[in-house]
């Protein structure tokens, strides 16, 4: 059953375009999407997903499952990096362990988007408020990561003075992608409340165009992920194993929490995907600034080159199978 | 006169420019989107959308005295965050 | 009543995204929209607004209020820079005065677009031929500005030889943004006349996408405007006062002319906004070439950093209030 | 009759925007579309045309006229470069002759797209499987060109070792534009077969937006083509004549084959346009790598500066007239 | 041989290139999208969409004789519109 | 120390970087999107979408010994495909 889900997932346009990008690199095609075009699509996707989430959050209100789900999501993004950190410390120093742990505690918006497309394709409903969980799970892991460095590292490191609590909060909340996602969510919320006629006018841009833009971006992500593969050799097998095993562990934890929250299958999958995905936007930007001692190739190559493709191709359908097995259908 | 070439991550651009202005540099030029490799890093084009950012190349034409003033300020930044700084001779056209 | 209009204006997506950009700079978020993406949106908006205007101009024809309105608009863009010049000469030399005066005599297409969105949001009708006024008001102020320099400046300035009448007309009519706007207007006009079936095929691009693209561009404009704020300190309080007071004065003049032309409230607002807005596309490009003696930071920082945000946020609703008060509703 | 077709063609938005770009350069407007925006539109058009073609190919299946038409198309892209090579050798060395011949044997996707728009505008039906012909005609001419160099050139040239058969096939099949076109075709095909619900979700991006994006890209192509004009002076009158006469000869051959295949008028026009158009994407990229001895300005300036504009403006309607005259309407 | 570095507004790029070709330069390279600060100007990235344009950095490797020829032509352009020009030593690899 | 400036078509970038790494260069920086003119070529911005590509400017700060090692590898590439390579003096800040 899982293998049929995997096949169904692989045969959707977003995943097919992801493969098209990957194969381009493997067969040495000179296909490239030059900067800053990936940035355009990445900004667009964050803006659109945030805006749409805001609209639906306003419709659903903050009642029912919304607050418990969102708080549990935030909690997960505090616990997961601690767990990762403990595991990573077996092989890595404090700096690298904290940076990688923060990446895996945080989320990948594009993985979330692909999971939404998967659900739509399967005809499984899900709620708009899950975008709020997405937006709020981006930052906490950064805070945990930086606190771990502050506590664990030698006090006399040259940059230690820079990691003040204010600086940590700044890096966590105000990096471009978290800020745009949260801001667009808020604008969507306000628009739905005060200006419902504007929703229809935004729809062609933030709604109709979304699926195609997602495909275009995944084409680029396929290229980028495949380009990262060679540098994975240098990261060693421990980290390679971590980049595949950790998402599965996190997904398992996520399913248990989703079950406790009695989430619908659709919401449960999105919750699980948030736990299982790792950040390659917000976290690397923050870590580069505050923990330059950590090797950026470690946290970028694993998240982009392994965890992201794994989740997109296998993870989502496998987690769906897990959800179907472990969560009794309520309604 | 001298020509100073600085290549480092664009994430530190703001602090380098502040350093330049504090030392009284009358001018400088910045090229962004520079990629490259150093002893500690590999900077590729795809880092632009991840938020890691690529490198900036800053060129400063200036008197020898400014070079002396800049050295103690720039050295710690480049040592901690990475990057290179080289000086050569240059004469105004 | 005005304050409720301001609030209604502020709560629309375009203005909210503008704020999102502004706040990003103020709180030092690293959100950025790298070049040449702003150029993409700016080209798109000019092309789309021109094309749509051309379609509607063809429908309405050149009868009725069209010619009087458009001629009055051109007249305003000749008179306003003269008025500005006289005021600016109190503090500035001929070069800077002429350049700033030209900027305030010309128009800002994005301010116009935002005013259109405001009207649509308020359910107030307006006519497509106003885009012709927009297109034709971009250049005359440049001509006035360059003639002022030619007449007012020391005859022996090194560049004086370059400012020939032909050069002036060239800079005024053929700078990229004026050319694209006028050209797209013409193409829209021809398409509506000879190829009506193509209108529907352009609609998803030039029509449906417009509102969302406007929001994205205003996000960038918010960033740019806020980045200009520090450099405003150096321009001095006279110029800061000018950048706020002059739009109001020009708006007032505009309302009087709109009243004399018996324009409908919607058209009147657009007319007023054309008078009150200042150019940061066509005019700076022309002035940089022909009057390098003028400090570009003067005319760019005031138009982008003050006048544009003022008009977008407060100006449009305030001018609407003015129009409602001073123009008796005809129909 | 042809002249009325030409006029009808010239008055469509894509051709009008092409003219707008051309005139911008001629009157020295500073309108420019900075890199990499043209690349964005070029990638988008290839992806969208491929995807749409794949959808329709799946619908129509590989029966009836599909295989004969596609095979004839590939055959034409093998014969045409040989013919061109013989003609070009009168004046040019092996390297330049082979490179230019390859360009004229291959195709221009944007010319094809403009021909499709022309047909839609004229209400003439055509089949989606013609995109397969487009995709498969891009590469064979490259192979012919490189084989001609391998056979014709001095065996001791420094780069000769590099042109192995594997290398030739690699350059031919895996250059970015051929790869993206073929890949998107395949994805469209798979999507239509396994995931029909995704078709509607792609439609706003790959379908609705297409016409407008085509106009925007043609605006840029107009600029680029006009910028190439001065360098045409240096290429000499032989090559200028070739760049106009060869498309007409190839079109004539194409009409004869289309007649033999009993293609419908719409499909016939597309077939003819494929024969008559010349590549400025895939072929130059491949030739630059493998035949650096050839002057890139020869094959780029003629294809972009002459053949492309000629086909867009005059060629398409003239070829339509030819089709109408020489092919008896079957149904 | 010499290396000449010119940094100035891209708006003057066309006239500088014409000057180079008139003086017989066999080659030059241009990097656009350069930002910077000088005694008279601050050039930032957002100027690209306003039409003001950012700076161009032109590099010319050439003989000493070309430098002499270029000086009287480039000086007035750079003095009037702004920009810098510096010469240094360079030898072919 | 030395500064090596290479300017050539970005299509050869990969092979040049491989050459650099083979010779043991510890670092280099790359600026793409460079246009220009040489004795054999005119590289303009529109070549970016045609797939011809524009130029890359590679800067390497290194010891004299690396220059010697690079010369025999880079010369044939630049001679066959076009491009320039110049060496100048540079001292670390
Ligand atoms: N020897 C070198 N020559 C030229 N650029 C260098 C060199 N070493 C480092 N760089 C540049 O400086 C950046 C930072 O290097 P690193 O100090 O390793 O973090 C690299 O990404 C390169 O762009
Ligand atoms: N001392 C300097 N070093 C490097 N670049 C400079 C220097 N002075 C000016 N520039 C560049 O030249 C441009 C024009 O300067 P200006 O002459 O002030 O108009 C500036 O925007 C900088 O990019
Ligand atoms: N004398 C020169 N100075 C600076 N750049 C040059 C020079 N000659 C050639 N170039 C650059 O090298 C590239 C390749 O030149 P070519 O060797 O003619 O193919 C040109 O496009 C220029 O960017
Ligand atoms: Na996670
Ligand atoms: Na005005
Ligand atoms: Na052909």
Domain segments of chain D: what residues?
Answer: 4-15+36-326
Architecture of domain D4-15+36-326: Up-down Bundle (1.20)
Q: Predicted ipTM?
A: 0.95
Q: How confident is the model at residue D42 (pLDDT cuts 50, 70, 90)?
A: very high
Quick check: A182 pLDDT over 80? yes
Confidence of residue C36 (pLDDT cuts 50, 70, 90): very high
CA distance C213 to chain A (A): 7
Residue range F74-91, pLDDT digits in tens: 999 999 889 999 999 999
What is the reported pLDDT for D331? Answer: 46
Q: Which two tokens stand for residue D59?
A: 């619908």
Instruction: Work out whether the CA dihedral E79, E81, E82, E83 comes out positive or negative.
Output: negative
- Please answer whether residues E52 and C284 qualify as being in contact, where contact means their C-beta atoms are separated by less than 8 angstroms: yes
- For residue B88, the chain E residues in CB contact (below 8 A) are 88
Report the share of chain C in percent with pLDDT over 90.
80
pLDDT of residue C38: 95
State the architecture of E2-88 in CATH terms. Answer: 2-Layer Sandwich (3.30)
Q: How is residue C185 written in tokens?
A: 């207007």
Rounded Cα gap, residues C131 and C273, in angstroms: 12
Compute the C-alpha angle D235/D236/D238, nearest 5°: 115
Instruction: Tell me the pTM.
Output: 0.96
User: Which atom of ligand 2 is nearest the CA belonging to E36?
Assistant: 23
Q: A151 — contact with chain D (CB < 8 Å)? A: no
Nearest CB among F52, F54, F80 relative to D159 is that of F80
**Residue of F36, F51, F75, F81 for testing the chain D interface, max D β-carbons within 10 Å:** F51
pLDDT at D166: 78
Determine the distance in angstroms separating the CA of D122 from the nearest CA of chain A, rounded to an integer: 28
Please say if the pLDDT value at position C331 is more than 80.
no
Chains that touch C (3 or more CB pairs under 8 A): A, D, E
Per-residue pLDDT tens for F19-56?
A: 999 999 999 999 999 999 999 889 999 888 888 899 99
pLDDT digits (tens, 9 = 90+) for C155-200: 666 555 555 777 778 878 898 999 999 999 999 999 999 999 999 9
- C-alpha angle A15/A17/A21, rounded to 5°? 115
**Set of chain F residues whose Cβ sits within 8 Å of the Cβ of B34:** 29-31
CB contact under 8 A, C31 and A285: no
Identify the band that residue C285 occupies on the pLDDT scale cut at 50, 70 and 90: confident
Nearest to E90 among F57, F71, F86 (CB): F86
Chains E and C touch (3+ CB pairs under 8 A): yes
Q: Does A297 contact B46 at a Cβ distance shorter than 8 Å? A: no
Average pLDDT over residues C66-90: 96
CA distance C289 to chain A (A): 29
| Chain F: closest CA distance from residue D286 (Å) | 8
Start-to-end C-alpha separation, chain D: 22
- Contact between chains at E29 and F57 (C-beta distance less than 8 A): yes
Quote the distance between the C-alpha of residue C257 and its chain's center. Answer: 18
Contact B46 A38 (CB under 8 A): yes
Query: How far is residue D40's CA from residue C68's CA, in Å, rounded to a whole number?
Result: 42
Is the model's pLDDT at A156 over the cut of 70? no
E7-59 confidence digits (pLDDT tens): 999 999 999 999 999 999 999 999 999 999 999 889 999 888 888 899 999 99
The verdict on C190 touching D (C-beta cutoff 8 Å) is yes
What does the block give as tokens for A90?
A: 């077996």
- Quick check: CB of B61 below 6 Å from ligand 2? yes
Q: What pLDDT is stored for residue C44 in this prediction?
A: 97
Is a pLDDT exceeding 90 seen at residue C82?
Answer: yes
Q: What is the mean pLDDT of residues A59-67?
A: 88
Per-residue pLDDT tens over the stretch C197-215: 999 999 999 999 999 999 9
In percent, how much of chain A has pLDDT > 70? 95
| pLDDT band (50, 70, 90) for residue C57 | very high
User: What average pLDDT is seen over chain D?
Assistant: 92
Query: Residue D63: its pLDDT value, please?
Result: 85
pLDDT confidence of residue A1: 52
Stretch D123-136: mean pLDDT = 94
Ligand 3 pocket residue status of E92, Cβ below 6 Å? no
- Say if the Cβ atoms of F86 and E32 lie within 8 Å: no
For D200, other C-beta atoms within 10 Å of its C-beta total 10
* Percent of chain B scoring above 90 in pLDDT: 85
pLDDT at A170: 84
Chain E residues in contact with B29 (beta carbon < 8 A): 7, 34-36, 55, 57
Question: Are the C-beta atoms of D2 and D317 separated by less than 8 Å?
Answer: yes
Res. A331: pLDDT tops 50: no
- Compute the mean pLDDT over every residue in chain C, rounded to the nearest whole number: 92
Ligand 2 lined by B60 (C-beta under 6 Å): yes
pLDDT of the residue at A158: 59
Instruction: Find out whether F36 and F7 touch, Cβ atoms under 8 Å.
Output: yes
E76 touches C: beta carbon within 8 Å:
yes
Say how far apart CA E76 and CA B63 lie, in whole Å.
23
Q: Is F59 on the interface with E (CB under 8 A)?
A: no
Is residue A73 within 8 A of residue A136, CB to CB? The reply is yes
Q: Are A119 and A126 in contact (CB under 8 A)?
A: yes
Q: How far is CA B56 from CA A141, B6, B32, C30, F33, in A?
A: 29, 8, 4, 16, 15
Chain B residues touching E87 at Cβ < 8 A = 90-93
Interface test with A, best of D175, D187, D289, D290 (most A CBs within 10 A): D187
């Amino acid at each position: 059953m899982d293998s049929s889900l995997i096949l169904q997932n692989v045969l959707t346009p977003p995943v097919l375009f992801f493969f098209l990008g990957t194969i381009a690199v493997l067969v040495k095609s000179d296909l490239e999407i030059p900067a800053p075009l990936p940035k355009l699509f990445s900004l667009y996707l964050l803006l659109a997903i945030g805006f749409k989430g805001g609209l639906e959050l306003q419709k659903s209100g903050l009642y029912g499952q919304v607050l418990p789900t969102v708080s549990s999501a935030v909690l997960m993004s505090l616990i997961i990096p601690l767990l990762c950190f403990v595991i990573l410390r077996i092989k890595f120093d404090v700096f690298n362990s904290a940076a990688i742990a923060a990446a895996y505690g945080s989320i990948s918006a594009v993985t979330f988007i692909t999971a939404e497309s998967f659900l739509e394709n399967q005809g499984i409903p899900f709620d708009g408020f899950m975008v709020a969980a997405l937006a709020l799970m981006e930052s906490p892991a950064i805070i945990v990561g930086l606190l771990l460095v502050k506590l664990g590292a030698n006090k006399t490191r040259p940059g230690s003075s820079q990691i003040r609590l204010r600086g940590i909060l700044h890096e966590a909340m105000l990096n471009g992608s978290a800020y745009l996602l949260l801001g667009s969510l808020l604008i969507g919320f306000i628009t739905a409340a005060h200006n419902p006629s504007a929703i229809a006018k935004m729809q062609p841009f933030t709604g109709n165009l979304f699926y195609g833009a997602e495909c275009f971006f995944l084409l680029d992500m396929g290229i980028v992920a495949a380009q990262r593969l060679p540098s994975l050799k240098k990261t060693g097998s421990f980290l390679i194993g971590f980049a595949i095993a950790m998402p599965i562990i996190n997904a398992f934890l996520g399913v248990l929490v989703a079950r406790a929250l009695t989430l619908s299958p659709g919401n449960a999958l999105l919750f699980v995907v948030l736990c299982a995905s790792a950040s390659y936007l917000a976290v690397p930007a923050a870590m580069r600034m505050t923990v330059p001692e950590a090797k950026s190739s470690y946290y970028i190559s694993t998240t982009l080159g392994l965890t992201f493709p794994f989740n997109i191709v296998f993870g989502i359908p496998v987690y769906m199978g897990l959800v179907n097995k472990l969560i009794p259908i309520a309604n | 006169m001298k020509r100073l070439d600085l290549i480092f991550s664009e994430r530190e651009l703001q602090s380098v420019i502040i350093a330049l202005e504090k030392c009284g540099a009358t001018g400088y030029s910045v090229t962004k989107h520079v990629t490259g490799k150093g002893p500690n890093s590999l900077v590729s084009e795809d880092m632009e959308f991840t938020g890691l950012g690529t490198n900036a190349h800053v060129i400063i034409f200036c008197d020898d005295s400014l070079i002396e003033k800049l050295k103690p300020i720039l050295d710690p930044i480049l040592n901690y965050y990475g990057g290179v700084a080289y000086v050569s001779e240059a004469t105004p056209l």
